[in-house]
Amino acid sequence: MFLTTSSSKANRHAPFARKTGFTLIELLVVIAIIGVLAALLLPVLSRGKQKAQQSYCLNNGRQMMTAMTTYVGDNKDYFPPNPDDGNTVPGHNWCSGNAGRGEPQEFNPDVLKDPTLSLLAPYLQGNVSVFHCPGDKRTGLYQGSNPSMMGQTIPAARTFSMNQAVGTICPEFDQTRYTGWANSKHAGAPTLSVNGICLNSRKTHHRDSPWITYGQTASIRAPGPAMLWVLVDEDVNGLNDAAFAFGMELPFWFDAPGTYHNGGCGFAFADGHSESHRWLSTSPKKANGSLANPQDYQDWLWMRLHTSANISGEVSPPNGGPLSGSGSSFKYASSLPQNVPDCRVGLGQRNRAGAIAWRQ
């Protein structure tokens, strides 16, 4: 007769038997390590995602500039119309529709596909996604007229806007200069460069008086094609029509550029390239708002350098304090004593009253 002993009983009395599982302290250590790793990795993953969105956005800008260049080649070197009134008159806008928060076309991509309302549509072959920056997170119910899309939630239709100093208008619209934005006349071929009415910071600017407006690529002489921006990611809180307004003479944001890419903004330039510019100020730009801080002023100066140039070739006044003097030049009261041309006042309008102080 053989006697047997169960393995469990033998193990129970084994001198080196070990308990299985983790102690509470070991679990807490593991959880703490996981938390530290997550804290280290999540920002990296977030930056990686934003970098991918930035690359996608810049590619959209390049595609739109390719379409713009093809349009220019088909239309005797003229840029597409870019009027100042946000109109939807057929044949008179590079891109129609008010696409800001709560606007009628915020979630209506149909206007971007219509070749009579958006003149770049034939050159984009229906790819309206290029009008949108992936960093723009707005979503909402479809606002168009396609029955199959009704009730669907879609991204916002458009983030990009066009430099108000670039583009064309028709002679009939030009007759309305300085008066009104909406309900203006649009007829005939758009063969005049835009007025860019906000360029003088008073909404009364007329082409090349004194800030250059660019109706044809041949007119791009200063700044050069590699420096003149044509398209920009606009901040959604100021987005309206597809023309981006900027004043060259007072440090003030009419329309606000975006900050979708780690505090940077996507631009597409006249030579066809696109890039993201990182703003110095971490404060978001505010449409129809004063500058937030000295860094915001430096951002405004960068935008100014790349938006237009004075037709007389005068240089911008350097940083300084209040101005004093008379005639065609004024003297800074700060550490910059030299006389400099006052480029903020239109040609023929330079006087003491027009010398508005710049403050950093």
Walk along the chain (360 residues) in steps of 10 and give the mean pLDDT of each run. 50 55 81 83 66 83 96 96 74 86 91 92 94 94 94 96 94 58 62 91 90 95 94 92 93 93 93 94 87 90 95 58 35 33 32 29
* Six token digits for residue 82: 């870019």
> φ, ψ for residue 218 (rounded to 5)?
-65, -20
Residue 69 is part of which domain span? 56-306
From the list 113, 107, 108, the residue with the least C-alpha distance to 125 is: 113
Residue 340 lies in a domain: no
Secondary structure letter of residue 43 according to DSSP? H
The pLDDT value recorded for residue 233 is 95
| Ramachandran quadrant class, 93 (left: phi over 0; alpha: psi -120 to 50; beta: rest) | beta
Contact 140, 128 (CB under 8 A): no
CB 253 within 8 A of CB 289: yes
175: how many CB neighbours lie within 10 A of its CB? Answer: 10
Count CB atoms within 10 A of the CB of residue 254.
18
Cα dist. 95→68, 195, 243 in Å?
Answer: 11, 18, 9
For residue 61, the model assigns a pLDDT of 95
Whether residue 30 is contained in a domain is answered as no
Tokens of 157: 């239709």
CA gap 32, 37 in Å, rounded: 9
- CA–CA distance, 347 with 353 (Å, rounded to integer): 14
**CB neighbours of 350 closer than 8 A, spacing ≥ 6?**
327, 328, 342
Q: How far apart are CA 313 and CA 307, in angstroms?
A: 14
User: Domain count of the chain?
Assistant: 1
Residue 155: inside a domain, yes or no? yes
In a domain, 229, yes or no: yes
Per the domain annotation, does 328 fall within a domain?
no
C-alpha pair distances (Å), 132 with each of 102, 127, 355: 17, 11, 40
Asked if residue 117 lies in contact with residue 145, where contact means CB atoms within 8 angstroms, the answer is no
111 inside domain: yes
Task: State residue 180's pLDDT score.
Answer: 43
Cα(197)–Cα(100) distance, rounded to whole angstroms? 21
Q: For residue 352, is it within any domain?
A: no
Instruction: Compute CA distances 67 → 78, 82, 223, 335, whole Å.
Output: 13, 15, 22, 48
Provide the Cα torsion 331, 333, 334, 336; round to 10°: 20
Query: What was the pLDDT predicted at 101?
Result: 85
Position 261 scores a pLDDT of 87
- Tell whether 23 is covered by a domain: no
